[in-house]
Structure 1
Amino acid sequence: MTQATAAPPAAARSARMPAKAWLILGLLMTLLVLNYFDRQTLSILKPVVKTALDFDDRAYSLLTFAFMLPYIVMYVVSGRLIDRFGTRICMTVFAAGWSIANIASGLSHNFAHLAASRAMLGAAEPGAFPVVQRAILNWVPVEHRALAISIATPAGNIGAILAPPLIALLATGIGWRAAFVIPGLVGAAIALAWWFTDTRHAPAARPAAQAAPLPSEAIADRSSSAGALLRDKRFWALAAVRMISDPVWYFYLFWMPGYLQERVGLSLAELGLVGGIPYIAAVVACIVLGRTVDRSTARGHDPIRIQLRIFAFSAALMPFGALITMTSSATIAMIIITVVVAVCQIWFAGFYVVLAGLFPVKVNATAVGLLGAVGASTSLVLNLLAGWILVQFDYVALFAGLAILHPISAVILMVVIGRSRKAGAVQPD
């Protein structure tokens, strides 16, 4: 049973999210939509760009590597930059950087130029995610924090939903280069809007006059250095979980469109009609569960313990993913994929809620960056090995293996984080 803590004062329970916080949240969501939109452009226009710049599939794999390697490196670096220089300058630089990289991709006239543009895109994009974490902690009161995180985190899915039809429209109507350049110009404009909106004088996420510290924050405030973060076994438990569970998301993101066409029999047009359903379901699920955590927190319950219960329940659904190879029904396959994608996004949003409660604000962006790099690294390895595994064992082995990763991760979370919460409830600082 969830252990209750002292109920927050009435002022904290009734506090509304400030209008400026909603504006910040809206800009964060817009930037995440553009972030995912821009990274999808090349994969959607792959046949056209290959012909225009005269390269083959082996060269295309190098473009993927050119994106992923700096992406992983900058996931580590960006968190520290944000904790050092703040969200205003960092998000402006990151968003302007990936927008310029997208424009440069559209203006490329040979493979080398395109590869350099993809590397720049990979270096700029990962910083958006720790910025989201830190900006929400800066601007959003604690009683609305889980909802804000759950709204912002899956916003990138909207970019994944919008990319195929809009990119195709731009490419066929104006030309493939416009599909890169126009979104890049939009991104540059939003980056400028962020600079003038995210002022340096952000209000405290939860003024002391409004609410007493939660036990999780009292424990977290013992130390606020990056070194202390790396010495905390709870952080390493989260790192192990991201290392284990993140590859599920990246595999479904990169391989499921092909699986649905090659094995289930969907045409490209049919895929375009139903391909966004899992992402829409994921957004709805994240918002509903984020609101649930906020309401429970307002009633005095520990938000992290509630989030751990959500992790455990959702992980129990993941073994259904192993059944996908047993059906030839497109409907059943889409239901299974929707469940898996929704759970992956619930976990991503949940990690931000847990980090916000476990560690001080000043190291949250660093934690997000390090964990993102760990997850992206193991995901890169899986995607490099996936082709060989398919040749040797087909999809059955892959889906069966992926189906148990979240349950294993849930056990780690309950053992390490769950026990630390019990200790904190018995002997709070």
Structure 2
Amino acid sequence: MNLTASGNSIEPALADDLIVSRPVSSHTRWTICALLFAATSINYMDRQVLGILAPTLQHSIGWTEAQYGYIVSAFQFAYAVGLILAGQMVDRFGTRIGYAIVMGIWSISAMAHSLAHSAFGFGVARFFLGLGESGNFPAAIKTTAEWFPQGERSLATGIFNSGTNLGAILAPAIVPWVTIRYGWRASFLITGAFSAAWIVWWLTHYRKPSDHPKVSQSELDKINSDPPQSVAKIPWSKIIGYRQTWAFSLAKFLTDPIWWFYLYWLPKFFDARFHLGLTHLGLPLIIVYNASAVGSIGGGWLPALFNRTGTSMIKARLTTMLLFACMVTPIFFASRTDSEWVAVGLLSLAAAAHQGWSANLFTTASDMFPKSAVGAVVGIGGMAGSVGGVLFSLSTGWILEITHSYSSLFGIAASAYLIALLVLRTLAPGLKKIEVPA
């Protein structure tokens, strides 16, 4: 082999060939999507454990509805703060290292719940879990922007976002069984251990597309097929000034709390309304979250379907979001039915619609911002969603303490998405991409 060398250096073009020997064809980006799916599944399984055990822990430890609201709010407050830090960290250090760090924090914190003996102890454990778990979506959305062209991003986001549903399905399938046999502390230890195993998997398999030895040239060309974007870093202080940032963030502020409400209060709703104990909660929750998995993947697929009929990708995305916003509205009647299975059906439709909405809302960040800013924007939007979650959780605790009724809460859930879509379209008409100064 002939090398053109100066000292120990090798001609750059030849060095690239030596470092990355590319296969003829590949679909490695979907393997990366599977990694993101696994991380998101673990993320939601860890956070769902407390919701499943809430009726049991409320009786054994003795916390009130308001105290439970404080515990949930501790997670969401930390999640809000952590999203800002995580988004900037991921943009600065990259997804490979950043993802491993946040996963390590939430793995330790999830298992630390097993040490709690009071409402305050659970609040502390939830706070640190929120700090760690806050990094998942900024890292996953940035990874998607790096690995997928615009036309595939909503589908990829829908697929990995459906991991929220698998995690929420696995938790009610695993936690009651483990708790009945080994106690509730073992449930936190077992579910927390999955995230530790994922870190090894991620560090072993993940590289950027240009550095990944299993990515073919044709796949790399597809990944990079979008028009060139600015790679200049945009300061957080400037990102916060864009109308697009506010549009994305307010939409998250209005709709994220509804999903938090489903995660943390559905077990309590079924227990209070239909008297379902720990041994009977699993099936209704599994049905609801299976439906939400279908909504997540379907929500990511629909814009591409509309796009193939000649509709622009932006119009296709907004049309899809309107469809899902309308699908949520029947949940208004969930607390008014005397049938457990009618309630399950209404909640399943609403959960599916939320995930379809969420997959597309996440993708609007990469529609409106260059890849270099996506992590920070998602972090800001996620912080806004968590602030909304804190306010809604505190309000939920006090509303239930006073009224003992879920009617007003489901009324808020029914209208939040249409209001959020109106805000998004008003502040960011056409999801116009920001103009980055040269």
- Structure 1 residues without counterparts, runs of 5 or longer: 1-15, 425-429
Is 1:140 aligned to residue 148 of structure 2?
yes
Alpha-carbon shift at residue 299 of structure 1 (Å) = 6.8
Counterpart secondary structure, 1:316: helix
Alpha-carbon shift at residue 195 of structure 1 (Å) = 1.2
Alignment of 1:380-399 (within 5 A): 380-390=390-400, 391-392=402-403, 394-399=405-410
Residues 248 and 365 of structure 2 are in contact (CA less than 8 Å); yes or no, is this contact kept in structure 1?
no
Structure 2 residue aligned with 1:188: 196
Counterpart secondary structure, 1:317: helix
2:416 to 398, 405, 417: 405
Aligned AA (1:242): K
Residues 305-348 of structure 1 deviation map (CA, whole Å, 9 limit, x = unaligned): 21101111221233322223432222322221112111211121
Alpha-carbon shift at residue 114 of structure 1 (Å) = 5.3
Structure 2 residue aligned with 1:332: 342
Alpha-carbon shift at residue 419 of structure 1 (Å) = 4.3
1:294–1:224 CA distance, 2 compared to 1 (3 A): farther
Is 1:85 aligned to residue 85 of structure 2?
no
Is 1:120 aligned to residue 128 of structure 2?
yes
CA–CA distance in structure 2, aligned partners of residues 17 and 119 of structure 1: 45
CA–CA distance in structure 2, aligned partners of residues 114 and 18 of structure 1: 46
Residues 68 and 397 of structure 2 are in contact (CA less than 8 Å); yes or no, is this contact kept in structure 1?
no
CA–CA distance in structure 1, aligned partners of residues 258 and 165 of structure 2: 16
1:303–1:225 CA distance, 2 compared to 1 (3 A): farther
1:236 to 224, 242, 246: 246
Structure 2 residue aligned with 1:211: 225
Counterpart secondary structure, 1:172: helix
CA–CA distance in structure 1, aligned partners of residues 109 and 232 of structure 2: 41
Residues 261 and 267 of structure 1 are in contact (CA less than 8 Å); yes or no, is this contact kept in structure 2?
yes
1:104–1:360 CA distance, 2 compared to 1 (3 A): same
Aligned AA (2:423): I
Counterpart secondary structure, 1:250: helix
Percent identical pairs in the alignment equals 28
Is 1:176 aligned to residue 184 of structure 2?
yes
Residues 228-284 of structure 1 deviation map (CA, whole Å, 9 limit, x = unaligned): 422221221222222222222222332233223323455554432222222211211
Aligned AA (2:145): L
Name whichever of 241-250 and 373-382 sits farther off: 241-250
Is 1:69 aligned to residue 80 of structure 2?
no
Alpha-carbon shift at residue 212 of structure 1 (Å) = 4.9
Alignment of 1:26-425 (within 5 A): 26-46=34-54, 56-57=63-64, 63-107=71-115, 115-200=123-208, 201=211, 207=221, 211-213=225-227, 224-264=234-274, 266=276, 268-297=278-307, 301-390=311-400, 391-392=402-403, 394-419=405-430, 421=432
Alpha-carbon shift at residue 133 of structure 1 (Å) = 0.4
Aligned AA (1:211): S
CA–CA distance in structure 2, aligned partners of residues 146 and 206 of structure 1: 19
CA–CA distance in structure 1, aligned partners of residues 408 and 70 of structure 2: 26
TM-score normalised over the length of structure 1: 0.82
1:384–1:151 CA distance, 2 compared to 1 (3 A): same
CA–CA distance in structure 1, aligned partners of residues 81 and 258 of structure 2: 21
CA–CA distance in structure 1, aligned partners of residues 123 and 332 of structure 2: 36
Structure 1 residue aligned with 2:4: none
Aligned AA (1:290): G
Name whichever of 85-94 and 253-262 sits farther off: 253-262
Alpha-carbon shift at residue 110 of structure 1 (Å) = 7.5
1:253–1:212 CA distance, 2 compared to 1 (3 A): closer
TM-score normalised over the length of structure 2: 0.81
